[in-house]
Structure 1
Amino acid sequence: MRKRFASRPVLGLSLALCLSLPALAASPSPARLQQLANDPYWLAIGHYETGKLGGWRSYVDDDDFFLSPDGPHDPAAELSATLTALYRPVNLGDKHPQCVFPARTRWLRDQLQLNDLPQPACGEFTTWYRDIAPHSSVLIFPAAYLNSPSSMFGHTLLRIDQADIDQNGTALLSYALNFGAFIEGSDNSILYAWKGLMGGYPGLFALLPYREKLSEYSRLENRDLWEYRLNLTPEETGRMVEHVWELKQIQFDYYFFDENCSYRLLELLEIARPGLELTDDFPITAIPVDTVRAIKDAGLVERIDYRPSRERELLERAKPLSDNELQWVKTLAADTQPLQSAEFQALPAERRALVQDGAYRLLRYQANGQERDPAAAQRSYQLLRAINQNPPTTLDVERPKLPEDGHDSRTWQLGVGSRDDRAFAEYGLRMAYHDLNDNLAGFPLGAQIEILGLKLRQYENNHWQLQELDFATIRSLTPRSQLLQPLSWQVAGGFERVPGKDGDETLVAHLNGGAGASWQLTDSTLAFAMATGRVEHNSDFAPYLATAGGFNTGLLWHNALGTASVEGAGDYFLNGEVRRRLSLNQQWQLGQNLGLRLSALREFSHLTGPENEVMLQLKWYHY
C-alpha cells in the first residue's frame, strides 16, 4: 500500500471519536483510537493512500463502502463511524454493519476486546463463507495473448481452494477471485483500450466458481496457464475472503496500466498478510508479470505448476509427425470416415495413435469459443473411441521459462551513434514492455508490445530534438504451420522522425498497420512478410493527411548472443513520395535486465538522398 504515516493533530479528532462511541466496558483512550486509525491494516482495509496534496484518499470510488461521509479521505472518521455502527440493533439482520463488514468487525473486536458487541445472525455471509470454505490460495497467471486488448500483458486472478484440494484434485470446485473492468454493452477493441487507459470503466471484484471463470476465459485455451500456490495460512486466506465480502458490488476506478487486476490483488494480499506492502513497488504501472515477480520475491510462493494451452499441446503432438501424417490429422478432424479405410489402417499402429490424438486435439482447438456443433461432437466421439482402442504415448510438454524470469517491464535507453557523419547521443524511456530484439527469456519469439516510448537526441553543437514519441507499437508474428494458419499483424501510432527535404529529419504524426504471415524456419528463426498501410501528417506534404501502401518483411534469429533481426520496409504514398528502409539489429544479452544493442539503418526517400545511421545502445530494464 502506498502510504506514509504522517503525524496528525490528535486532540480534536480523538475527542470526536470518543463522543461518538457508546459506553463501552473499557473505553479506549484517544491515543489508542488514533493509533488504530493509522494502523497499516486499517489503512489497507480502507484502501487508503496518501493524497497528492497531503492527507488521505481511498481508491474505493463508491459511497456504499463508507459509514462516514468523510470516510473516503479520513481513516479516523471511518473508524469512529464503524465503531458506532457495530452496536446497532440486531434486528437489522443481514444489513447490520457487522454482517456487511465482517473483516472490519473481526479486527476491531480483536484490537479493542469488544466482548459486549451485539450478535446479529448474518445468515447470508455465514452461508456464503461456508460454501467457499477458504483454506489456501493460488495465484493464476494466464500468459499474454496479443490478439485481445484486455489480455496483451497477461492477467492475474486468485483461486481460493478448500482444505482437500491436493488430496481430491477438486480445483474446478474452487472459487476464482477476479478484479476487472465492468463493461456494459459491447465496446470495440479500440474504444476498450482508450477507456481502459483513461479510467472510463468502473472496476469490480467478483468471486465465482473457478470452472465458470475458465469457461468465461475461453481464450485461456490458447494461453499457457501458470499456477503459483501461495503459502498463506488458512487464517490469512479467510481474512482476505472476509474482506472480499465487504467489496461485493463496490466500485473502484479501473485503469489499464496501474489500478488494474494485478494491483488490486496485491492489495488483497496485503490484507491477508499485513506488513507486505507489495503495492509500494508500483507507483506508476502494475504490469501483471511484474506483480507476479513481486509476489515471488516477497516469499509468498510455495509451488509453481504449469498447464500448457491447447494450442501448445497440439503443436507438440504434431512435432514428430511427417507431412503425410499431418495431412491425415487434418483429414480426420474434418471427417472420421477414413478411420477404417485401408490406406489409414496401413499405417503402423503407433503412428495411427499419434495421428488420431492429433486430430482430436485439432478438433478441440477449432471448436474453442464456438457454439456446440453436433457434427463436430460426433467426430470427437469417434476419435475418442479410436484413441481408447489404440492409445498414443503420453504427451510430455516441456515447461518453458517462467514468465517472471524475463526482463522487467520499464526500459531506460542510452545510445551513441552517427547519422550521415553527424554524431549524436540518444536518451530513451519506454514504459512497457518488450520488442522483437529484447532479451527473449520468458517471452515468445515474434511478440512485441511497446507502450509510451520517448526518445530524445542530442546532436553535435548541443542541438536537441524529439526523435520519437511512441504511443503504442504492437506486433504479433505467430508462425503458420500445416495445421494452424494464424494471421500475423502489427499496428503502431505516435510521432517519429522521417527523411525530409534538404537532408533534414521531419517530425510527423502517424498511424500504420499491416497484416500477413510468419513462418518458423527453425526453432530459433522466424520469417515474416506483411502488406502495410500508413496515414501520416507531414509538414513537407501538401495534403493534411497523406496515405501510403507498402510492405514490411524480415527475419528474426535467436542466437547464442541474444536476438538478431534484419528487416526491410517500404511506403509508397499516393502523392508520389516513396520511402524505403533496411535495418539490422543485434542485441547482446548481458543479464536478465541489461542488454547491449547494435543497430544499422539505411533509409531511401524521394525527398533526399540515401541516409545511413549506426547506433550502439545500452538498455536497462526495471519496474
Structure 2
Amino acid sequence: MALCSRMKKADPVRLLIGGLGLIACWPGVVLAQATGSAVDSEVWQAAAEASALHERPRWHQLVHYSPRLAGSVRSDIHSPEFFLHPDGANSSQAELQATIEAMFEPVNGLDESHAQCRFPARLLWLQQELPQVTGLPTPECIGYGNWRGEGGSEITSISLISADGYLRNPSSLYGHVLLKLNERGYSPDPGGNRQNLLATSVNFGVDLPSGESPLMFIGRGMLGGYQAVFSHARFHQNSVLYGEYQQRDLWEYRLDLEPEQAALIVAHTWELLGKEFTYYFTGSNCAYRTAAVINLVLPEGQSLDNRIKPWTMPHDIFNHLAGTQLNGRDLVESVIYYPSRESELAADWANLNPAQRTLAQRWLAEPDLTLISEAALSDADEAALLDVLLAYSSIQTEYPLAWNGAPGLTELMARRAALPSRAAPAQPLSVQVNGEARAVPGAPAPVHRANYPTLLETSGLWNQEQGPGAMARFRLSYYDLLARPVARPEFSELSMLDVKVTAFEDTVQLRSLDLVSVTALNVPATGLPGTRAWSGRLRAGYEQTGLACTDCGAWFAEGGPGMALGRPGNWAAYGLLEGRLDSETDGVLSLTPRTGLINHWGIGFSSGLSAAYRWPVAQAADSGDWLLDAGMRVGSSQRWDVRLRWQHWDTQEARLSLGTYW
C-alpha cells in the first residue's frame, strides 16, 4: 500500500504509520499542486500572448478601457481595487497577465479575496478563449454564490428597465435605465410571476447632493464633476420609488439570452458593484454604462449605444434595442408596462361615466356614503367608482379627506370590501416589440416607439427685413412642444444644446444657442381636487434679441410659473408669467406674460400658438416687445418630420423645415 493512499481499516498501528507518512508526503502534495497550477498558468499566459488576447475588444469591455492617444488605453474605472496589476488601469496586457496569474493562486480557506471570487466574469471569458486546464483552483465564493443565486433562486434571465423622465430630479430629466436580474421561474406571460418584485435591480447613478439645482447638476455633469457607482436593491424598492412616490411609469424589456450569456452579465455586475466612474450628463450616464454591460454578450462591434455620436441618452438604448438580434432571434423577448398609481387612476377615471364622476366629486366635497347609496348604482358601477376614490386617496394624502381622522375613508373601504371584485386585465400589461398585433387597451406606446433623440434640421426662410435665407439647426436632445406625442410626457419640452445658425445674402450668424429649455404644462387628467399642479418654463442660453438685427446677441436666463388646462392627449391652453435677465439690458429684469395653445391632432399632426409681451421693468410699460409665434408639425415617423413656422419679433419671419432624428 502506498503511504499517501487511503487506508481500509482503523488499525491503531496503521493509523500511526499512516499519519507519519501523510505528514512526510504532504509538502510534496502541495508542491505538486502548486507546480501543476504554475504549469497551467504558464499555458494560459503563453496562449494569451500568442493570440494577443489583451487586444481583444471583449477584454477591453470587461475592464472598461477607453482608447487614448498613440494607441494607449485607460480604464474608465477609478477604484484601485478593480485592478490586479499596479498599472492595470493603463495597460491591458499587464492587467491580463496579472489576472491569469491570480486565477491560479492557491486557495486559503474561505478566501473571498481570491481573484475568481472578485472577477468571475473575467474567469468565464478566459475559460472560453484559452485551452482547458486541470490545475485551476476552486475557491468557495460565498458572496458571489449568493449574488448569482442557486437552485430556485438562480438568476436565469436579464431585463432592462426604463423609468419615465422626472422633471423634479435633474439626474432623471431624460429618464432612467437600470438592469433587473430575474430569478428562475420568472415569466412575463399572463398568470406568471410577472413583476418578480424580489428580483435584484442594478443601478448606475450619482448620489446627488441635497438641494442641488437642475442647472448646477447639468453644468457639473457636462464637465464630469461627479462620481457615480453601480449599486443594487430589490426591484420592489424601485417599483415603489418610481411608481408610487414619483408617479413614473416603468417599462421592462426582457432579453432573450442563452444561459451562458445571462451568466456573464450576472458575473460582471458583481464585479462592478461599488466601483467609481466619472459621471457625464450626456456620456458616462446610466444609459451608457448599463448598455456597456449588455454589450458584453453582443457580437464584437455591435452596441446598444449609438457609436456614431459621442453621447448616449436613455431613448438611444431602447430605440436600438428593439431592432437588435442575437442568437438568430430578436434580442427583446417581451415588453411589460408597469403603470404608476397616477396613470392607473387616470385610466380608471377615463372609464367612469359622467354620473359616476359627478358622484365622485360630490363625495370628495362631503364624504357621505348616502350619496352613493341613493344613486342606486349597479354593483359593477359602484365598485368602479369606489376603486377610483380609494386610488385617489392613496395618492392625494394631503387632501383633507383622509386627513380628518378619515371616518369617510374607513366607511368607503368597508363598503368596497362588501362588493364583488371587478374583472380587470392583469397588471402589468404586455405588448409586442415588433408589430402591434397584440395592442393592449390602456397601455401607452412603449419607449422604443419614441423619436430618436438628436435632431438635425434644415430650413428655407423669408425674413421681412433681411429677405430670403436658410437656417441649419442641431439639437442634442430631446423633444419640444410639437414633437410626436409618443413615449414622452405630453405638453412638455425638454431640450439641451439647441443651436440655430442663419445665412442670408451676405451674413451668417448664430441665431440662438439654448443650453437648456424645459417646459411642463401640467394638464390634470381627472380634475379631482389636489390633482392640479403648477406649470412652468425654464430656458437659458444665447440668442439674437430680435428677428430684424444681425448683431444684437445676448446671454439670458428666463422662466416662471403658470397654469394649464385642457384635455389629456388632445389639447392644452396655458398662461405663464416669466422673468428674464439678459446681458443686453445689463441684468435689468424683464417680465413676460405668455399665453398659448397646443393641439395634438393624432401622432402625425401637431400645432401651436403663443403670444407674449416682454417688458423691461425699468422702462415705460409701452416700451416692450410683442412676441408672436405659430407653428405646425407633420409626420408620424420616428426619423423625420416637416414643420412650418411664422414668428413676429420686431419683424416677421416664416420658414419651412425638414428635420431628421437620429
Q: Which stretch shifts more, 216-225 or 170-179?
A: 216-225
Q: Over residues 479-536 of structure 1, what are the superposed CA-to-partner deviations in whole Å (9 max), with x where a residue is unaligned?
A: 0342120111110000011139x96661111101121111124742211111111111
**1:39 CA displacement:** 2.2
Q: Over residues 145-198 of structure 1, what are the superposed CA-to-partner deviations in whole Å (9 max), with x where a residue is unaligned?
A: 333322221111111111111244460121111111133555344433333332
Opposite residue 127 of structure 1, the aligned amino acid is N
Once residues 316 and 36 of structure 1 are traced to their aligned partners in structure 2, the CA distance between those partners, rounded to angstroms, is 55
Match of 1:293 in 2: 319
Alpha carbons 1:521, 1:527 under 8 Å: kept? no
Q: Over residues 109-165 of structure 1, what are the superposed CA-to-partner deviations in whole Å (9 max), with x where a residue is unaligned?
A: 442423212332222222333266211112111122333322221111111111111
**1:446 CA displacement:** 0.6
Match of 1:260 among 268, 276, 285: 285
Match of 1:345 in 2: 374
Once residues 597 and 149 of structure 2 are traced to their aligned partners in structure 1, the CA distance between those partners, rounded to angstroms, is 56
Once residues 314 and 415 of structure 1 are traced to their aligned partners in structure 2, the CA distance between those partners, rounded to angstroms, is 43
Aligned residue runs from structure 1 range 168-183, under 5 A: 168-169=193-194, 171-183=196-208
1:598 aligns with 2:598: no
Once residues 636 and 149 of structure 2 are traced to their aligned partners in structure 1, the CA distance between those partners, rounded to angstroms, is 52
Unaligned runs of 5+ in 2: 1-36, 326-330, 426-440
Match of 2:659 in 1: 619
Alpha carbons 2:186, 2:194 under 8 Å: kept? yes
Q: Percent identity?
A: 25
Opposite residue 105 of structure 1, the aligned amino acid is L
Match of 2:592 in 1: 550
Once residues 371 and 204 of structure 2 are traced to their aligned partners in structure 1, the CA distance between those partners, rounded to angstroms, is 55
- The change in CA–CA distance for 1:122 and 1:312 in structure 2 (over 3 A counts) is closer
Alpha carbons 1:590, 1:596 under 8 Å: kept? no
**1:268 CA displacement:** 0.9
Match of 1:402 in 2: 446
Once residues 378 and 178 of structure 1 are traced to their aligned partners in structure 2, the CA distance between those partners, rounded to angstroms, is 41
- The change in CA–CA distance for 1:440 and 1:68 in structure 2 (over 3 A counts) is same
Alpha carbons 1:177, 1:206 under 8 Å: kept? yes
1:427 aligns with 2:448: no
Aligned residue runs from structure 1 range 350-389, under 5 A: 350-367=380-397, 382-389=411-418
**1:378 CA displacement:** 7.3
Match of 1:232 in 2: 257
Once residues 200 and 24 of structure 1 are traced to their aligned partners in structure 2, the CA distance between those partners, rounded to angstroms, is 45
Match of 2:33 in 1: none
Alpha carbons 2:155, 2:184 under 8 Å: kept? yes
Once residues 435 and 457 of structure 1 are traced to their aligned partners in structure 2, the CA distance between those partners, rounded to angstroms, is 20
Q: Which stretch shifts more, 28-37 or 310-319?
A: 28-37
Match of 2:582 among 509, 533, 536: 536
Match of 2:177 among 139, 156, 162: 156
Match of 1:140 among 134, 150, 161: 161
Opposite residue 230 of structure 2, the aligned amino acid is F
1:564 aligns with 2:607: yes
Once residues 121 and 566 of structure 1 are traced to their aligned partners in structure 2, the CA distance between those partners, rounded to angstroms, is 67
Alpha carbons 1:556, 1:565 under 8 Å: kept? yes
Once residues 292 and 153 of structure 1 are traced to their aligned partners in structure 2, the CA distance between those partners, rounded to angstroms, is 13
Once residues 416 and 81 of structure 1 are traced to their aligned partners in structure 2, the CA distance between those partners, rounded to angstroms, is 60
**1:264 CA displacement:** 1.1
Aligned residue runs from structure 1 range 473-512, under 5 A: 473-480=517-524, 481-483=526-528, 484-499=531-546, 506-512=552-558
1:519 aligns with 2:569: no
Match of 1:447 in 2: 492
**1:53 CA displacement:** 4.5
Alpha carbons 1:140, 1:228 under 8 Å: kept? yes
Q: Which stretch shifts more, 424-433 or 568-577?
A: 568-577
Alpha carbons 1:517, 1:529 under 8 Å: kept? yes
Alpha carbons 2:164, 2:175 under 8 Å: kept? yes
1:187 aligns with 2:212: yes
Alpha carbons 2:319, 2:452 under 8 Å: kept? no
Match of 2:64 in 1: 47
Opposite residue 584 of structure 1, the aligned amino acid is A
Alpha carbons 1:333, 1:379 under 8 Å: kept? no
Once residues 237 and 332 of structure 1 are traced to their aligned partners in structure 2, the CA distance between those partners, rounded to angstroms, is 52
- For residue 439 of structure 1, give the secondary structure of its aligned residue in structure 2: coil
Unaligned runs of 5+ in 1: 1-20, 604-609
- The change in CA–CA distance for 1:467 and 1:169 in structure 2 (over 3 A counts) is closer
**1:335 CA displacement:** 6.9
Opposite residue 401 of structure 1, the aligned amino acid is A
Alpha carbons 2:250, 2:339 under 8 Å: kept? yes
Alpha carbons 2:243, 2:341 under 8 Å: kept? no
Once residues 127 and 509 of structure 1 are traced to their aligned partners in structure 2, the CA distance between those partners, rounded to angstroms, is 55
Larger Rg: 2
Once residues 408 and 217 of structure 2 are traced to their aligned partners in structure 1, the CA distance between those partners, rounded to angstroms, is 38
- The change in CA–CA distance for 1:578 and 1:395 in structure 2 (over 3 A counts) is farther
Match of 1:204 in 2: 229
**1:417 CA displacement:** 1.0
- The change in CA–CA distance for 1:384 and 1:253 in structure 2 (over 3 A counts) is same
Once residues 244 and 616 of structure 2 are traced to their aligned partners in structure 1, the CA distance between those partners, rounded to angstroms, is 38
Match of 1:62 in 2: 79
Match of 1:581 among 618, 627, 632: 627
1:94 aligns with 2:109: no
Alpha carbons 1:204, 1:250 under 8 Å: kept? yes
Once residues 248 and 342 of structure 1 are traced to their aligned partners in structure 2, the CA distance between those partners, rounded to angstroms, is 56
Opposite residue 104 of structure 1, the aligned amino acid is R
How many residues end up aligned between the 2 structures? Answer: 585
Match of 1:80 among 77, 97, 104: 97
Alpha carbons 1:140, 1:156 under 8 Å: kept? yes
Once residues 306 and 371 of structure 2 are traced to their aligned partners in structure 1, the CA distance between those partners, rounded to angstroms, is 67
Alpha carbons 1:40, 1:274 under 8 Å: kept? no
Opposite residue 572 of structure 1, the aligned amino acid is W
- The change in CA–CA distance for 1:550 and 1:29 in structure 2 (over 3 A counts) is closer
- For residue 145 of structure 1, give the secondary structure of its aligned residue in structure 2: coil
Match of 1:24 in 2: 40
- For residue 424 of structure 1, give the secondary structure of its aligned residue in structure 2: strand
- The change in CA–CA distance for 1:75 and 1:381 in structure 2 (over 3 A counts) is farther
Alpha carbons 1:214, 1:220 under 8 Å: kept? no
Once residues 484 and 198 of structure 2 are traced to their aligned partners in structure 1, the CA distance between those partners, rounded to angstroms, is 39
Aligned residue runs from structure 1 range 124-139, under 5 A: 124-130=143-149, 133-139=154-160
* TM-score of the two chains, using structure 2 as the length reference: 0.82
Match of 2:434 in 1: none
Once residues 66 and 322 of structure 1 are traced to their aligned partners in structure 2, the CA distance between those partners, rounded to angstroms, is 64
Alpha carbons 1:489, 1:513 under 8 Å: kept? yes
**1:253 CA displacement:** 1.3
Q: Over residues 263-284 of structure 1, what are the superposed CA-to-partner deviations in whole Å (9 max), with x where a residue is unaligned?
A: 1111111224453433453642
Once residues 454 and 468 of structure 2 are traced to their aligned partners in structure 1, the CA distance between those partners, rounded to angstroms, is 27
Q: Over residues 559-618 of structure 1, what are the superposed CA-to-partner deviations in whole Å (9 max), with x where a residue is unaligned?
A: 265111111111111122412111110111163311111111122xxxxxx411111111
- For residue 88 of structure 1, give the secondary structure of its aligned residue in structure 2: coil
1:319 aligns with 2:340: no
Once residues 273 and 381 of structure 1 are traced to their aligned partners in structure 2, the CA distance between those partners, rounded to angstroms, is 54
Opposite residue 374 of structure 2, the aligned amino acid is Q
Alpha carbons 1:571, 1:580 under 8 Å: kept? yes
* TM-score of the two chains, using structure 1 as the length reference: 0.87
Q: Over residues 189-237 of structure 1, what are the superposed CA-to-partner deviations in whole Å (9 max), with x where a residue is unaligned?
A: 4433333332222111122211123234356652222111110123221
Opposite residue 569 of structure 1, the aligned amino acid is A
Alpha carbons 1:345, 1:352 under 8 Å: kept? no
